[in-house]
């Protein structure tokens, strides 16, 4: 897809995002959603409290078990992900942890993509090891490795729609088929795509997790996680874990994320165009040794990405320069203040990050090398700036940084 073509995602998803929710059943609804900061609600009797805490009545009782801002946002996201239910958590990592705690037991096995966000890998390989959980890593974009998954044991499988930071694209349907053959559940971290570009549940995944504080919020002012679930019984177990372990969301973060959701389509459209244009431009810069972006024909999974994604190839890309850390600092200095170094992603402004010292700092140098993460690997989260300005800003900064080496 050219970055000049329109983005053909489902218009109804955008309409639902912009449409104001019903608020507390009022006939005369406010145009802007209200923030309900209550931590607890009054009850008419012990029976009403019992029904509320059991989830039978739909009434609110205690913020940890649900609140108006959480319920309004979760209801929208469940529809957008084609899920039976959506559960919100304090942040993306608590969403993944809640799923792991609900599904895994001592002696069970989790297969995780070899290239995940660093904390996700740490959770399964290091932290859950003390709980007796066995973790196996595999290349989710390699069909031979996916076929090996079929033989199990595999109680839980975690992959990313587009891997962090090299943007490799797994065949979600194929991984789902292999996971189910092994009697396991497939979880897809969809943070790099959101529901606009991919709905993993429609491709066979059992659960979707997202860090909503990234692109869905889009303004770096909230932290929130999502678990979208096909099965209502499993969703109830996860919601119980969220309550028991104190992983619940805050009203303010839900409000800010809900507001961001309403402009998500506009921001993603521009950000995808910018990423496509920047990736094409960087591929033609002599000093850039490689560019990772699914929209490029040179990307190993370009055809699969074209089939699996809709409306664009995402706003994330990475590129590698044959430089060491000191020269990386020079590049970041040349980009500042217009393009800041930020160890996160999904802002309305374009930002850059350095995987070797941020998202994947927990890996050894040898482990990073196996994943193709070098000192000169730069991850870019494209925002909504004018496209040509963004391209010029990067190419000029690279030229100046190399001129000073």
The catalytic residue positions are 64, 117, 189, 214
Q: Could you give the CA distance from residue 140 to residue 317 in angstroms, rounded to a whole number?
A: 19
Sheet-wide strand order for 85-89 = 85-89, 225-229, 207-211, 185-189, 156-160, 109-113, 134-138
Q: Could you give the CA distance from residue 184 to residue 112 in angstroms, rounded to a whole number?
A: 12
Residue-wise burial string across 367-381, b where 16 or more C-beta atoms lie within 10 A, e elsewhere: ebeebebbbbbbbbb
Burial of 45 (0-12, 13-18, 19+ CB in 10 A): exposed
To the nearest 10 degrees (0 to 180), the angle between helices 92-103 and 232-244 is 110
**Phi, psi (degrees; rounded to nearest 5) at 181:** -65, -35
Report whether 99 contacts 227 (CB < 8 A): yes
CA distances to 29, 193, 358 from 328, in Å:
51, 27, 13
């Amino acid at each position: 897809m050219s970055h000049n073509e329109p983005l053909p995602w489902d218009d109804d998803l955008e309409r639902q995002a912009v449409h104001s929710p019903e608020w507390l059943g009022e006939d005369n609804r406010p145009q802007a959603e209200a923030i309900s900061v209550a931590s607890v609600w009054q009850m008419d009797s012990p029976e009403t409290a019992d029904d509320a805490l059991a989830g039978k009545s739909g009434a609110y009782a205690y913020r940890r078990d649900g609140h108006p801002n959480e319920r309004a946002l979760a209801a929208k996201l469940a529809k957008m992900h084609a899920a039976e239910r959506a559960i919100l958590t304090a942040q993306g990592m608590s969403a993944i942890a809640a799923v792991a705690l609900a599904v895994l037991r001592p002696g069970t096995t989790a297969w995780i993509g070899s290239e995940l966000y660093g904390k996700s890998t740490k959770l399964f390989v290091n932290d859950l090891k003390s709980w007796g959980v066995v973790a196996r890593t595999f290349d989710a974009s390699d069909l031979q490795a996916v076929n090996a998954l079929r033989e199990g044991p595999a109680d839980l499988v975690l992959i990313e729609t587009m891997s962090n930071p090299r943007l490799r694209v797994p065949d979600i349907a194929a991984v789902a088929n292999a996971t189910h053959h092994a009697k396991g559940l497939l979880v897809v971290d969809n943070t790099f795509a959101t529901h606009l570009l991919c709905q993993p549940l429609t491709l066979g995944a059992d659960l979707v997790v997202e860090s909503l504080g990234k692109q869905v919020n889009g303004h770096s002012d909230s932290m929130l996680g999502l678990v979208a679930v096909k099965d209502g019984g499993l969703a109830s177990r996860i919601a119980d874990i969220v309550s028991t372990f104190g992983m619940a969301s805050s009203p303010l973060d839900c409000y800010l994320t809900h507001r961001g959701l309403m402009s998500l389509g506009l921001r993603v459209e521009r950000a995808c165009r910018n990423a496509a244009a920047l990736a094409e431009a960087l591929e033609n810069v002599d000093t850039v040794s490689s560019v990772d972006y699914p929209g490029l024909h040179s990307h190993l999974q370009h055809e699969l990405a074209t089939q699996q994604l809709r409306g664009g190839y995402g706003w994330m890309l990475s590129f590698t320069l044959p430089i060491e850390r000191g020269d990386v600092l020079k590049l970041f200095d040349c980009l500042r203040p217009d393009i800041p170094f930020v160890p996160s992603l999904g802002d309305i402004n374009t930002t850059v990050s350095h995987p070797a010292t941020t998202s994947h700092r927990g890996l050894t140098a040898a482990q990073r090398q196996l994943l193709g993460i070098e000192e000169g690997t730069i991850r870019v989260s494209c925002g909504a700036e004018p496209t040509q300005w963004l391209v010029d800003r990067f190419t000029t900064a690279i030229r100046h940084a190399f001129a000073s080496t």
